[in-house]
Structure 1
Amino acid sequence: MSVWTVLLAAGSGTRLAQASGGVKKQFLRLAGKPLYWRSLATFAQCPEMAGIVVVFPPDDLDEARAELTALLAKKDPGVAVAVTAGGVRRQDSVANGLAALPAGCRTVLVHDAARPFVDAGLIARVLDALAAGAGAVIPALPVTDTVKEARDGLVVRTLDRKSLAAVQTPQGFDLGLLRRAFAAAGEGCDVTDDASLVEHLGLPVAIVAGSPENRKITNPEDLALLAERAAPAHPVVGYGYDVHRYADPLKPGKQPARPMKLGGYPILGAPEVLAHSDGDVLLHALTDAILGCVAAGDIGTLYPDSNPDFDNMASGVFVSEALILARSKGLTISHVDLTIIAQIPRIHPHAQAIRLNVAALLGLDRSQVNVKATTEEGLGFTGEKKGIKAVAVVTGLRRPVTDPDAPAS
């Protein structure tokens, strides 16, 4: 099948006008982009899709075309994209979209941009039914409410909900059949969906399972759906590990020896550590763990020890800078688990002070920070009292940021 989609983004959105500040619903922002882009990106990811015609309101055509061109320049969807103006009625907008299709198109999907949460599975069900021979296909959901026919404020009759279905888009068609249905309908026929035109020809329309998530943004209360879906958070874990050698007081080296700090807390009487910065092994591991949550590299890349500006730098600065960077990328830290590995000094007397210091540095409650210590039973360089290790695990939620250059969701 040579498949194209006509994406209808030409409505006036009068029912939402007051709640949206006059912005037409297809141009409301979702994850920093206009609402119609969400559907465009979803359809573009379907392997069968050759292209998409976006139908905009005539009054907004130039501005909308310019914004779409800018979006396409930043993120190529991988399919052809064309633009045309809509008409007075929905079916007029569809007709204009059909007129913009290329000669090679044989199958068309028609989708309302006001349904931004359409998914690939639903699109595939429509395409599979068309591939199996159906000339027209609609997705639908069973009606669960009791439905009554009413007139002048009175019930006329109760309809059998077993025979009713709530129809969604995308609706799929053999292009030749849909064009024939439009021609037969004439100017006097006014319908709310394209399958109705095929029904007027007396031809069958197949039904596939719709999706409860494929909601339409229509009324002011529907705007809450955009807020909920704008930036779904996902859990992330960052891991950090660092090692520092102890200074040998009998063999002074070229690298400076620093008084030991752990989590920014001075450990009096402990061995000095060799380091370019202040040598806080715990905060160095923590910095790497924070950076790991947002895939931002490591402390050595961002703050190399070859840079003299970082000579004896307080490691809390590294943590703070990493935290600013991570927050700009949507990270909210929920928990920090820190482990110090050393034969000396004894960490237990300082653990709570370190915990409070780290919690304050991160802006967390102390219940969100755990500090523990262990030895390596005399094994390895830590067991031989030659150095100290630290491990940090940071867990949190990362919410996609509003970034016009980010890939389409």
Structure 2
Amino acid sequence: MSASGEVWAVLLAAGSGTRLANAVGGVKKQFLSWKGFPLFWHSALTFSKTPAVTGIIFVFPPDQVDEMKEVVADLDGTDSLGMPFKVTAGGKRRQDSVFNGLNELPSGCSHVLVHDSARPFASAAMMSSIVDMMRNGRDAVIPAVEVTDTIKEVDGDIVKKTLVRSSLKAVQTPQGFSLPVLYAAHEQAEKEGWDVTDDASMVEMAGKNVHICSGEEGNVKITNPEDLKRIEEDSRILPCVGWGYDVHKYGAGRPMVLGGVPIPGGPEIIAHSDGDVLLHALADAVLGLFGGGDIGHHFPDTSAECENMSSGIILKEVLVKAEDAGIEIVHVDMTIIAQIPKLSPHRELIRKNVASLMGLDKNQVNVKATTEEKLGFTGEKKGIKAVAAVTGLRKYS
């Protein structure tokens, strides 16, 4: 593979998908919505996250090309691919659609990944491995997985032969090719009247070696109505961590409150709300679990409604946002940094109150207090700081 040649993807979304379309009110499978986007766009996003891929050719049904140009432009405006793309019309057969896509590739393209949009679960890692093999001199690379069922060759309802499973593979997409090799195979297929089900078959018939790389069990194709359950049920639970930080000056203002607990004899706090530095850091950490911004965005200090607002209310509201985002909070670790006052007498009560506010067991909450050895802002008794780390589990579906 030329070091200077570009790798483009041809994303096929031109099929009729009759079996599935009939089951879902006539909607073609590539246009079914999943996680807020049509199926084909998920594959496009994965290509955009594959460093070696330069651009994408979208291939749609001929009667929908103008419409889909606008759809793709809108989708790119919402969740940008960050790469060039083109939209073109498909043909009667899959191989015709691929050939139309190849004819749209720029002159700088040397290799191509051909992918079925009905396989929305293919990973960027697998795509990268295909490109790596092409960089090592392979002209055709396809992903494949082991066949786990016994396969029979039949004639009608009569078994003719049991195939040797160890020599069989189930093939997936994307399939990677040297562009000159694939283009020549398509020209030969057109000339000699071949009718194939995938590009690898065409390249094999043209006398070229096709190499196998590891496919993915999860890289399934949405073909039948039953396959829709994979979309509906597909979910992953992954850990997430949020980190929060807040600081307040000492001075005439609000009585000191930490974790919702009043601190008798503590310095007053200059603040717009109640000045609970610990709950502010904690609320920011909760927002960090799901990319929710910061409390300054949700509760601005210019808002009259936030004047002297209880930080417990702030925390409760961000906890609702976290729940809506599919977050289950499992652990909280907080540190208060202050030279004064002495906080050890209040630590357990703070811990218990924070656990209650968050609906957690006390063992899921940790509170620490430390000084900065009389150094800096807190060491000079000018104010107080707090940091918080929150661990959660997020369901992605």
| TM-score normalised by L of structure 2 | 0.78
Q: What is the aligned partner in structure 2 of residue 237 from structure 1? A: 242
Q: Does the 8 A contact of 1:35 with 1:116 survive in 2? A: yes
Matched, 1:343 2:348: no
Matched, 1:316 2:312: yes
Deviations, residues 3-53 of structure 1 (Å, cap 9, x unaligned)? 332111112223323554433221223332222122223323444434321
The runs of 5 or more residues in structure 2 that have no matched partner are none
* Matching residue within 6, 25, 32 for 1:28: 32
- Bigger mean CA deviation after superposition, 55-64 or 124-133: 124-133
Structure 1 residues 301 and 90 mapped into 2: Cα distance closer, same or farther (>3 Å)?
A: closer
Structure 1 residues 285 and 170 mapped into 2: Cα distance closer, same or farther (>3 Å)?
A: closer
* Matching residue within 193, 196, 202 for 1:197: 202
* Matching residue within 274, 277, 292 for 1:278: 274
* Matching residue within 253, 266, 276 for 1:256: 253
Q: Does the 8 A contact of 1:358 with 1:369 survive in 2? A: no
Could you say what secondary structure the match of 2:390 adopts?
Answer: strand
**1:218 & 1:13 partners in 2: Cα distance?**
7
Deviation at 1:82, TM superposition (A): 1.0
Q: Does the 8 A contact of 2:333 with 2:390 survive in 1? A: yes
Structure 1 residues 176 and 310 mapped into 2: Cα distance closer, same or farther (>3 Å)?
A: closer
The amino acid of 2:64's aligned partner reads D
Q: What is the aligned partner in structure 2 of residue 404 from structure 1? A: none
The amino acid of 1:256's aligned partner reads G
Could you say what secondary structure the match of 1:39 adopts?
Answer: helix
**2:35 & 2:346 partners in 1: Cα distance?**
46
Structure 1 residues 334 and 198 mapped into 2: Cα distance closer, same or farther (>3 Å)?
A: same
The amino acid of 1:313's aligned partner reads M
Q: What is the aligned partner in structure 1 of residue 186 from structure 2? A: 182
The amino acid of 2:253's aligned partner reads P
Indicate the percent of aligned positions where both proteins have the same amino acid: 50
Matched, 1:157 2:153: no
Could you say what secondary structure the match of 2:15 adopts?
Answer: coil
Q: Does the 8 A contact of 1:240 with 1:393 survive in 2? A: no
Could you say what secondary structure the match of 2:392 adopts?
Answer: strand
Deviation at 1:83, TM superposition (A): 0.9
Q: Does the 8 A contact of 1:343 with 1:382 survive in 2? A: no
The alignment's C-alpha RMSD in Å is: 3.9
Q: What is the aligned partner in structure 2 of residue 250 from structure 1? A: none
Deviation at 1:100, TM superposition (A): 2.4
Structure 1 residues 100 and 323 mapped into 2: Cα distance closer, same or farther (>3 Å)?
A: same
Counting only pairs closer than 5 Å after superposition, residues 383-394 of structure 1 correspond to structure 2 as 392-394=388-390
- Bigger mean CA deviation after superposition, 234-243 or 22-31: 234-243
Deviations, residues 69-123 of structure 1 (Å, cap 9, x unaligned)? 1122344434321111122221221122223233444433211111222233433
Counting only pairs closer than 5 Å after superposition, residues 7-406 of structure 1 correspond to structure 2 as 7-17=11-21, 19-186=23-190, 188-227=193-232, 233-240=238-245, 245=250, 255-258=252-255, 261-264=257-260, 273-276=268-271, 277-294=273-290, 299=295, 303=299, 309-324=305-320, 326=322, 331-337=327-333, 343=342, 346-347=345-346, 351=349, 358-359=354-355, 361-362=357-358, 364-366=359-361, 370=365, 392-398=388-394
Deviation at 1:369, TM superposition (A): 5.1
Q: Does the 8 A contact of 1:329 with 1:400 survive in 2? A: no
The runs of 5 or more residues in structure 1 that have no matched partner are 246-252, 402-409
Structure 1 residues 336 and 192 mapped into 2: Cα distance closer, same or farther (>3 Å)?
A: same
Q: Does the 8 A contact of 1:375 with 1:382 survive in 2? A: no
- Bigger mean CA deviation after superposition, 162-171 or 41-50: 41-50
